[in-house]
Structure 1
Amino acid sequence: MSTPSPAPLPVEQELLAAVAQGRHYAPHDVLGAHPHPDGTAVTYRVLRPLAGTVEVVRAGDGVRVELEHEHDGVFVGVAPIPAAAGVSAGDYRVHVAYPVGEDGALGDVEEQDDPYRHLPTVGELDLHLIAEGRHERLWEALGARVRRSDDGAAVGTSFAVWAPNARAVRVVGDHNGWSGRVQAMRSLGASGVWELFVPGVGHGTRYKYEILGVDGHWRQKADPLARWTEVPPATASRVWDSEYTFRDREWMQRRAQTDPHEQPLSVYEVHLGSWRPGLGYRELAEQLVEYVTWLGFTHVEFLPPAEHPFGGSWGYQVTGFYAPTSRFGTPDEFKHLVDALHAAGIGVIVDWVPAHFPKDEFALGRFDGSCVYEHPDPRRGEHPDWGTYVFDYGRPQVRNFLVANALYWLEEFHIDGLRVDAVASMLYLDYSRNEGEWEPNVHGGNHNLEAIAFLREVNTTAYRTHPGIHMIAEESTAFEGVSAPVDAGGLGFGKKWNMGWMHDTLAYLGEDPVNRSWHHGQWTFSMVYAYSENYVLPLSHDEVVHGKGSLLTKIPGDRSVQLATLRAYFAYMWAHPGKKLLFMGGEYAQPSEWSEGDGLDWGASWAPEHRGVQLTMRELNRQYGQTPALWSADHTPDGFTWLEKDAAQENLLAFVRHAAAGHDDGRDLVCLTHLSGVERQGYRLGVPSAGQWEIVLDTSDAALAGRAEDAAAQDALLAQRSMSTVTAEDTPWHGQDHSVVVNVPALTTLWLRPRCGTM
């Protein structure tokens, strides 16, 4: 008489129904292999809706178990516990056949691995760090990661997502016909993390998470840590398995040993989609690299490259914080672009947007039906100007999401710096809010203490883990200590955009030369506060859009006056204390206002007079990089001396830049900028030393002014150019013991340096 097979382990009908429908928080408790308490048998349950036959085949001993349909696509069967040593009850495969055709005949048997036989892919240490908000490599725990299973028997993708208030979470995608019920994720305790390893899923698979919120509604959401996405307007996440190997070891080693404050920094700001429309990352790695190398900028800065659904936001409304936009190629192709820039000796800064995020239904907003990433109080959680959500900086996991995101760009893409957007909106609770629309902090003030703590943490962590990088704040107020160290009470940024300098000097340029004397203070005021922060002087994209016109058209007068003024202004800017940033198109004085939909007006750059501005910028960068006086002491008063700051009637100023101690070429550089419409003959200028002084730059030079028939003639003029030399006289002037006499053309900047060997 044969022994009857034991009955399957019982499961309550309500629980079985929830698992069958993919709405249970712990599907692994029911599905998979479950040994019986008496140690004699194991129950196998698998979920295969619409299957005709289902069989489990154990890998180690070949035991086969035909499963019976139990409830709504759940099949169950029992097998003896493996008798052979080393055979695991949990190492099995599912053989399934589905009905095909109208007569219900079964198709071929398919062998499938079962997600519910695998152990969690997020470890206890990961969960502990996530709960504390201290997981600096969060992207290695959450998101979609191609990997081999713990037993080594399967290759697939582990999915993990933080959704602390969800009732259930499912993976949907190409691999399961976007049917979420068959791949419900398990909740990993109180961590708020949901996880599932799906065998057979690999690189390129499109997916989302289907989340059952506390309100009882299902939502399809893109992965917050997706490292690749569909090309907008499509919104699915994609599994990414990088195959790229960087070739920039020397660059990275040199960067780590470099003090970024005492190096030249001239930045070419680029909107990837409109620099030359139609180019992808690979084409940019050739054309953009060649162009920036020719111009001589030390760095490029990309407007936010993270994925964003609306191109008109220029990237400032991010939905995929961990994914380079797919508009221009894959993440590995973006790496190739960075690598190519490094190979050319050009650093890469990206705009980073932790201040807010859009309300798109597929993205972070109300992620699990509740306020997960955004602050729950609308007075702190919504931005009135931009119609976006504001991050809850006081929540450890949200802070962790952002800190790790900063590190992700620095680590995975070898980015050399982050320019943090809209810092002012983060610092103040009453930013763009009227009385009654904001809530004071615990001290009764208007500072967002949680955001301040976050900024300090991200800066401290970024500099600790990636020495030599740049952390730059776009901050438009007088908040103290933006670029001061955290241990000195500052925010810990390395640099801050000098918005005041930009607005004041552009306003000065906007005046007719005959009226500029009344506005002279706008031109000189920047030196009153020049060393209150470590400044970058920006002429950014914000100044050439939305009806503001181009840099060129801000200047009154005919085209020749506009071009001459702009050349002189650029040379003044490159000599002024502070690092430099110029938005694309400005380098050749694009006449039209920038539009992200139209691209740059490259045709204008071919005209000799516009090419002259371009050549001026090239010459400025060349001399800037070779002249320590222009960058080695940017952030200390020791690097600057006024010669003439009160010549308002003459529309003229002059100053000396000094090199920091220890540089081989410690020669001073004298800058004289004259923005009057009349020439000044025989102008006496104080200089700090005797001997011969060379006029190393004259922005009215014929080649730079475009007084040539074509580019070839212009290049010939440049090649034939020789520097004028003047001899310092023992005539004290401008507070110096010596002086020179120079002729100063209208609307011109002159740079003078001691001739080598005459210091």
Structure 2
Amino acid sequence: MALREDTSLPEPSGPARPGAAPALDSADRERLLSGAHHDPHALLGAHPVPGGIAVRALRPFARAVSVVVDGVRTPLASEGDGLFSGVLPLDAVPAYTLLVAYADGEQEVHDPYRFLPALGETDLHLIREGRHEQLWRALGAEPMTHQGVTGTRFTVWAPNAQGVRVAGDFTFWDGQAFPMRSLGSSGVWELFLPGIAEGARYKFEITSRYGTRFLKADPMARRTEVPPATASIVTSSAYAWGDQEWMARRGEVPVHRAPFSVYEVHLPSWRAGLTYRQLADVLPAYVKDLGFTHVELMPVTEHPFGGSWGYQVTGFYAPTSRLGSPDDFRYLVDALHRAGLGVIMDWVPAHFPKDDWALARFDGDPLYEPGDDRRAEHPDWGTYEFDFGRVEVRNFLVANAVYWCEEFHIDGLRVDAVASMLYLDYSRDSGQWTPNVFGGREDLDAMAFLQEMNATVYRRAPGVVTIAEESTAWDGVTRPTDSGGLGFGLKWNMGWMHDSLGYISHEPVHRKYHHHEMTFSMVYAYSENYVLPISHDEVVHGKQALVSKMPGDWWQQRATHRAYLGFMWAHPGKQLLFMGQEFAQGAEWSEAHGPDWWLLDPAYAAEPDHRGVRDLVRDLNTVYRGCPALWERDTDPAGFRWVVGDAAEDNVFAFLRYDAQGSPLLAVSNFSPVVRHDYRLGVPDDIPAWHETLNTDATAYGGSGLTHSGALKAEDGALRLTLPPLATVWLVPQPG
């Protein structure tokens, strides 16, 4: 709110000089000045009194304050402590402004305390009920025109506070001038500040019921300062979307019956130093060239510590400002959509950090977290868990899921750490948790929250998919909510990931003792709708990059890496691969420098080394997308049949995948470093010949080149192949 020079309004004549306003009650005055009054609008602004209209203003550090009515300014008397007042000899409250004089000039402003509440009863009712599905339109900082005046409405939920004030760069971070009013039992505080526009930085100064005072960032802030700075920023979107075609057709085919191949990205390190808009110039082209259908973004919500990779969130409604503005992030999503790529976002409703300027003990008491310390503390991450039993907290999170889908056109939410939400005893010893009302270990409130979130998102955002990272055998994660399930669209198959990575980490000579680790997944493959995840979690903290998990020399490691990807892409379920693994990066991922792109430089290696693995991933995705047998019946047991599932001594796995018309694809994996000649595979009698559509041992990928050309004829219901070493081969019926 910039100062300006004297406006040279005429000095008042005698009759316009105000009388003395009725003195404030001493208790009211003390509460107002200390930031602990629930209704400052009853004390400040203009109010009828005997003899006229009393006007009182709170302007700390002002030399003088005058009321301006119809161009005539009338000085108010100082009451001390920044209070100024007087009685105008008028019959009704006039339209007026305040002329505030400071040591370095004057400014003419609208009085915030002459405005009615800028939040309606419907909004307050929905907030009280925990049913406001567009909560961001009611709470936070909203630029608007109110009663004909432009400014910003500030609202915040702080039901335990004695008082709340707005502080910002426009008050030099002193909240004295702008106390907010309580809007009753909703627990919401509100103040419309004329003249405050986009770009203003602000926080809420809260006085707890214990008398302590502190500054808090806005839980609903839609933009934040760049960390380590922590202020919230007033913002609104002016972005014009260009993805109408994508949005119109994204829900045409249910995700479990569609191709779904995901490239997982940590945006700050994928190409370190690039902004959202710069990423939009390169990321869509790269991912589209590799044939993936979707990009999954590790959390983009604002977080103070970059080393948390975004999983310790303080700004649930703000894209991280490290890479640009909210509209810049919209630009990136739009660019991905226009390239034909879906956008999945990691979403973290399980917990939040304890930073004293953020959500923790927001109004001086546990608010977003449970009051019971045993429930509030997350035992693994040094964070607080959300109080899923409180309707306002549940509303905060459900609306947040809707917010990203509606405001940023996000196509999917991958929900982090679902297991930690579902179990009361998660990572807790006996005596550190309390059973539910039925004596069980299930968190019934968290279960109800997840059901509500999924049902609401699917109702409001057609075509969006929700994905659970859930590591236990909880029944019905992807079952519809009306059938008692949690209602997710997909679930990460952590069992397949753990077992299959365990298998390939063994020397080939020992793999026969672990054969079941590769076949066991088919026992439960159709219990849920699964994604097969090779995510960031599997290539950090000493777990090694995917290729480095493989035993043997460098050739064997790369060959096993390729064979494993071929096995993974053919296995029932959708695919997810973390950045860097598409070209067999040997080093663990680090957020400090991201993928080792130099490995793809021909000047580094003339041979198809890392580039060959990337070419394989491109071809895997190309064949996958064009072959419905690999995705159309992912959730139908009739879409899969073992051909060879018990060849432990050979380290061989072979199975058929079928599309909806019954057309098959035969996938054969040899996880032995030896060539297996004349290997017999039983195939359907009605298919006389097959041809090879993909072979991970091709020389173009860096393999030995043991491939099959032309038609491969079946005899007596059997196909005899030469299986290349450490390789996966895909075959389809020979046309004609």
Q: Same fold (TM over 0.5)?
A: yes
Equivalent-residue separation in structure 2 for 1:23 and 1:202 (angstroms): 26
Equivalent-residue separation in structure 2 for 1:739 and 1:706 (angstroms): 26
- 3-state SS of paired residue (1:256): coil
Greater mean deviation of Cα atoms: 6-15 or 120-129: 6-15
Deviation, 1:57, is 1.3
Equivalent-residue separation in structure 2 for 1:740 and 1:179 (angstroms): 80
What is the TM-score normalised by the length of structure 1?
A: 0.92
Equivalent-residue separation in structure 1 for 2:343 and 2:127 (angstroms): 30
Match of 2:505 in 1: 510
Matched, 1:359 2:359: no
- 3-state SS of paired residue (1:34): strand
Matched, 1:89 2:89: no
Match of 2:86 in 1: 77
Alignment of 1:94-105 (within 5 A): 94-100=98-104
2:304 aligns with one of 290, 301, 309: 309
Change in 2 beyond 3 A, CA 1:722/1:567: closer
Equivalent-residue separation in structure 2 for 1:4 and 1:239 (angstroms): 39
Match of 1:19 in 2: 32
1:44-86 deviation per Cα after TM superposition (whole angstroms, max 9, x unaligned): 111122322221113xx4454321112311111222336xxxx
1:648-699 deviation per Cα after TM superposition (whole angstroms, max 9, x unaligned): 10100111111124xxxx6311100111111011222222232331100011
Change in 2 beyond 3 A, CA 1:503/1:383: same
Deviation, 1:371, is 0.3
- 3-state SS of paired residue (2:351): coil
- 3-state SS of paired residue (1:243): coil
Change in 2 beyond 3 A, CA 1:3/1:135: closer
Deviation, 1:171, is 0.8
Match of 2:620 in 1: 620
Q: Unpaired runs of 5+ in structure 2?
A: 1-13
Task: Indicate conservation of the 8 Å contact 1:20/1:71, yes or no.
Answer: no
Task: Indicate conservation of the 8 Å contact 2:16/2:74, yes or no.
Answer: no
Matched, 1:127 2:112: no
Deviation, 1:488, is 1.2
Match of 1:660 in 2: 660
Equivalent-residue separation in structure 1 for 2:117 and 2:582 (angstroms): 54
Match of 2:730 in 1: 751
Equivalent-residue separation in structure 2 for 1:415 and 1:723 (angstroms): 43
Change in 2 beyond 3 A, CA 1:605/1:68: same
What is the identity, as a one-letter code, of the residue corresponding to 2:472?
T
Match of 1:711 in 2: none
Task: Indicate conservation of the 8 Å contact 1:22/1:182, yes or no.
Answer: no
Match of 1:403 in 2: 398
Equivalent-residue separation in structure 2 for 1:399 and 1:581 (angstroms): 29
Equivalent-residue separation in structure 2 for 1:170 and 1:255 (angstroms): 44
Match of 1:176 in 2: 171
1:338-364 deviation per Cα after TM superposition (whole angstroms, max 9, x unaligned): 000000000000100000000011110
Equivalent-residue separation in structure 2 for 1:126 and 1:4 (angstroms): 42
Alignment of 1:121-520 (within 5 A): 121-149=118-146, 151-152=147-148, 154-520=149-515
Change in 2 beyond 3 A, CA 1:460/1:299: same
- 3-state SS of paired residue (2:77): strand
- 3-state SS of paired residue (2:193): strand
Deviation, 1:730, is 4.0
Change in 2 beyond 3 A, CA 1:494/1:90: farther
Change in 2 beyond 3 A, CA 1:172/1:535: same
Equivalent-residue separation in structure 1 for 2:718 and 2:324 (angstroms): 57
Deviation, 1:597, is 1.2
What is the identity, as a one-letter code, of the residue corresponding to 2:81?
D
Task: Indicate conservation of the 8 Å contact 1:726/1:741, yes or no.
Answer: no
Q: Unpaired runs of 5+ in structure 1?
A: 83-87, 101-106, 708-716, 732-737
- 3-state SS of paired residue (2:544): coil
Deviation, 1:145, is 0.8
Change in 2 beyond 3 A, CA 1:3/1:30: closer
1:549-583 deviation per Cα after TM superposition (whole angstroms, max 9, x unaligned): 11111110000000011111101100100000001
Deviation, 1:177, is 1.0
Deviation, 1:3, is 12
What is the identity, as a one-letter code, of the residue corresponding to 1:68?
A
Match of 1:701 in 2: 698
Task: Indicate conservation of the 8 Å contact 2:651/2:670, yes or no.
Answer: yes
1:674 aligns with one of 670, 688, 691: 670
Equivalent-residue separation in structure 1 for 2:240 and 2:614 (angstroms): 35
What is the identity, as a one-letter code, of the residue corresponding to 1:539?
I
Greater mean deviation of Cα atoms: 128-137 or 40-49: 40-49
Change in 2 beyond 3 A, CA 1:203/1:92: same
What is the identity, as a one-letter code, of the residue corresponding to 1:23?
A
1:728 aligns with one of 703, 713, 722: 713
Deviation, 1:286, is 1.1
Equivalent-residue separation in structure 2 for 1:741 and 1:642 (angstroms): 16
1:189-241 deviation per Cα after TM superposition (whole angstroms, max 9, x unaligned): 11100111111111111111110112211111100000001111111111112
Deviation, 1:723, is 6.9
Task: Indicate conservation of the 8 Å contact 1:610/1:706, yes or no.
Answer: no
Alignment of 1:571-590 (within 5 A): 571-590=566-585
What is the identity, as a one-letter code, of the residue corresponding to 1:110?
Q
Task: Indicate conservation of the 8 Å contact 1:17/1:72, yes or no.
Answer: no
Task: Indicate conservation of the 8 Å contact 2:20/2:85, yes or no.
Answer: no
Deviation, 1:114, is 1.5
Equivalent-residue separation in structure 2 for 1:199 and 1:7 (angstroms): 27
Matched, 1:591 2:586: yes
Match of 1:53 in 2: 64
What is the TM-score normalised by the length of structure 2?
A: 0.95
Change in 2 beyond 3 A, CA 1:723/1:140: farther
Task: Indicate conservation of the 8 Å contact 1:505/1:523, yes or no.
Answer: yes
What is the identity, as a one-letter code, of the residue corresponding to 1:18?
R
Deviation, 1:274, is 1.3
What is the identity, as a one-letter code, of the residue corresponding to 1:81?
L
Matched, 1:644 2:644: yes
Greater mean deviation of Cα atoms: 676-685 or 15-24: 15-24
Identity %: 58
Task: Indicate conservation of the 8 Å contact 1:268/1:300, yes or no.
Answer: yes
Matched, 1:114 2:111: yes
Task: Indicate conservation of the 8 Å contact 1:692/1:754, yes or no.
Answer: yes
Equivalent-residue separation in structure 2 for 1:520 and 1:443 (angstroms): 41
Equivalent-residue separation in structure 2 for 1:302 and 1:413 (angstroms): 13
Matched, 1:740 2:716: no
Deviation, 1:469, is 1.1
Deviation, 1:420, is 0.3
Greater mean deviation of Cα atoms: 619-628 or 110-119: 110-119
Task: Indicate conservation of the 8 Å contact 2:508/2:671, yes or no.
Answer: yes
- 3-state SS of paired residue (1:274): helix
